Structure 1
Amino acid sequence: METLSRARCFGGEQRVLRHRSAETGTEMRFAAFLPPQALAGDRVPVVWFLAGLTCTEENFTVKAGAQRVAAELGLLLVAPDTSPRGEGVPDDPQGAWDFGLGAGFYVDATQDPWAKHYRMRSYIERELPALVGAALPADLARQGIMGHSMGGHGALTIALRHPGRYAAVSAFAPICSPLRCPWGEKALGHYLGPDRAAWRQYDATALIEDGARVPDILVDQGTADGFLDTQLKPRLLAEACGRAGIPLTLRMQDGYDHSYFFIASVMEDHLRWHAARLERMAEGRSRPRA
């Protein structure tokens, strides 16, 4: 693990780190904000942020405005990259921005030439948490996960596949059903092949239909988002949660678009949502059994 940069921030420290990944076979970077409590020696809860198409670990770190509130709440924020990168990593043959580099979709690809490096599911679910737990003062018994757009899809599906691991899950303008939108059909078709049954493990609505559950979900969506009706489709998530009895707080934010200006506007609400649930998780584990 190599620390590429560090900077004091709201009494804590913002770092960018790099390591060699066994899953992707490439060097990977991620950003980590350590709150003051972590610098003082405490092991603190972790909230993961998964970014969207074309992004790296930098977008959330410099644009979301999360560090001030995370410092107050004592949350360690981890923002991974969105895909493998480097020599030999294939990109979209047409040079499009919605597939390949910067568009890993948090899946483990099964099709050539993507299968060798595009293993973002295993990287996020297994490899990176183990590295963070060993290298940083992170309490992996207390985790939350959130994401934006493609990363919102990633956060929702990862939480649904791992009931009990995350105290909270939330999303900003998530791709709610990759099975039923152009971005998802392109990405899953290339990474996983034509069998749409294999795609269901990477679709939040399908996972819920197939029995996956989380205690509750928070989603913020801008009404002026140009991708709302064609790619994101929060109505499908609302319908799936309604049928399954999963409490969904879906807030349609009037006039907001798909950008980080929108994310920064509601970030504090999401961090406090996570902190409240992480605190309840800690209280429940510390309560003596009868």
Structure 2
Amino acid sequence: MPFETNATVPSFGGRLLKLSHASTAIGSSMALNLYLPPQASDFNKVPWIFYLAGLTCTGDNGAEKGFFQAAASQNGVAIVYPDTSPREPRYDGDDASYDFGRAAGFYINASKAPYSATYKMESYIIDELYDALPKEFPLDPARVSIMGHSMGGHGALTLFLKYSKKFKSVSAFAPIANPINCPWGQKAFGGYIGDDQSEWKKHDATELVKTFKGPLEILIDVGTGDNFYKQKQLLPENFEAAAKEAGLTVGANGINIRYQTDYDHSYYFISTFAADHIDHHMRFLVKPQADLISF
């Protein structure tokens, strides 16, 4: 499954590659961005982080507005920016609203027709990109983390909680943390999965954290001026309560939810705290000193 490089953009000493490929999981062409820091080479495979974008976005938004490349360049980490949904084939009404269908894949595998044929964003991230990218680019397959914003924050949290052995760390900006209890999630899960709400719970971070075993460190930032937070679309407080009930550490060195005064839901918010999230992930992505000793 070769990737085609459609453009190369110099950025902070590294390269932002604008890629496309024929996806086997989705069954059509998909586009994505990959930032390679200056430290990446055929002789130095670098750690990498998935950034999952939110509703209405593509793989371009985070690369152009998130300001992750500056900190990524300094730390020698790559960033992968996938798209948010399949773009073809099209279904009747899949672009009728901003929060369902096109640009709103919710990083799950749909089980309800017709979306079940191609809306397989969970498999696309976890199986296809996760395995394929290190085969073509200087990425270390053993050092991978995940983060995201809003719908992508939901994706980052749920994919980490379901596949924790695949990822070193996780963080989120304004995640949809309890989708079964908010309008966005109810609309998406009803359309992609159907009426069985027991199936919905399998894709809800608040439900998944209740049964997570072992220590768990997550950085989550939420702006107190975020209208979606005020409208109860995000519900980070439910995620925090579920973590406490599960006996997990909440706060520093645990599930660290930071409420940032007056910040909104935008990329101004994300770019302000981007370096903090890169720093969080680097604590888990740096090779142990023993692995760096050569003889």
**Do they superpose with TM above 0.5?**
yes
In structure 2, relative to structure 1, the CA distance for the partners of 1:58 and 1:287 (3 Å cut) is: closer
Q: Does 2:277 correspond to 1:270?
A: yes
1:251 is matched with which residue?
258
Aligned positions of 1:118-133 closer than 5 A? 118-133=119-134
- What CA distance in whole angstroms lies between the structure 2 residues aligned with 1:15 and 1:272? 23
TM-score (norm 1): 0.94
1:99 is matched with which residue?
100
1:110-152 CA-to-partner distances (Å, cap 9, x unmatched) read 1111011100000000001112111111102011100000000
Q: Gaps (5+ residues) in structure 1?
A: none
1:76-102 CA-to-partner distances (Å, cap 9, x unmatched) read 10010000002x322645711000000
Q: Does structure 2 retain, via aligned residues, the 8 Å contact 1:12–1:39?
A: no
1:17-51 CA-to-partner distances (Å, cap 9, x unmatched) read 00001111110011000001114731000111000
What SS is found at the alignment partner of 2:56? coil
Q: Does structure 2 retain, via aligned residues, the 8 Å contact 1:46–1:143?
A: yes
Q: Does 2:206 correspond to 1:205?
A: yes
What SS is found at the alignment partner of 1:111? coil
In structure 2, relative to structure 1, the CA distance for the partners of 1:54 and 1:94 (3 Å cut) is: closer
User: Which of 24, 27, 50 lines up with 2:26 in the alignment?
Assistant: 24
Q: Give me the identity figure in percent.
A: 42
Aligned positions of 1:99-248 closer than 5 A? 99-211=100-212, 215-229=216-230, 230-244=232-246, 245-246=248-249, 247-248=254-255
- What CA distance in whole angstroms lies between the structure 2 residues aligned with 1:283 and 1:233? 36
Which deviates further from its counterpart, 137-146 or 89-98? 89-98
How much does 1:212 deviate?
Answer: 5.3
Q: Does structure 1 retain, via aligned residues, the 8 Å contact 2:161–2:212?
A: no
How much does 1:250 deviate?
Answer: 0.7
In structure 2, relative to structure 1, the CA distance for the partners of 1:91 and 1:194 (3 Å cut) is: same
How much does 1:58 deviate?
Answer: 0.5
1:236-281 CA-to-partner distances (Å, cap 9, x unmatched) read 11111112214211110001000000000000000011011212xx
Q: Does structure 2 retain, via aligned residues, the 8 Å contact 1:89–1:117?
A: no
User: Which of 263, 272, 288 lines up with 1:283 in the alignment?
Assistant: 288
Which deviates further from its counterpart, 102-111 or 90-99? 90-99
How much does 1:162 deviate?
Answer: 1.2
1:173-199 CA-to-partner distances (Å, cap 9, x unmatched) read 000011100000000011011001111
In structure 2, relative to structure 1, the CA distance for the partners of 1:284 and 1:70 (3 Å cut) is: same
- What CA distance in whole angstroms lies between the structure 1 residues aligned with 2:100 and 2:235? 20
Q: Gaps (5+ residues) in structure 2?
A: none
How much does 1:284 deviate?
Answer: 8.1
Q: CA RMSD in A?
A: 1.7
Q: Does structure 1 retain, via aligned residues, the 8 Å contact 2:42–2:138?
A: no
- What CA distance in whole angstroms lies between the structure 1 residues aligned with 2:126 and 2:144? 12
- What CA distance in whole angstroms lies between the structure 1 residues aligned with 2:33 and 2:92? 23
How much does 1:285 deviate?
Answer: 7.9
Aligned length: 285
User: Which of 10, 17, 31 lines up with 1:15 in the alignment?
Assistant: 17
Which deviates further from its counterpart, 129-138 or 179-188? 129-138
Moved over 6 A (4+): none
TM-score (norm 2): 0.93
Q: Does structure 2 retain, via aligned residues, the 8 Å contact 1:160–1:212?
A: no
Q: Does structure 2 retain, via aligned residues, the 8 Å contact 1:91–1:100?
A: no
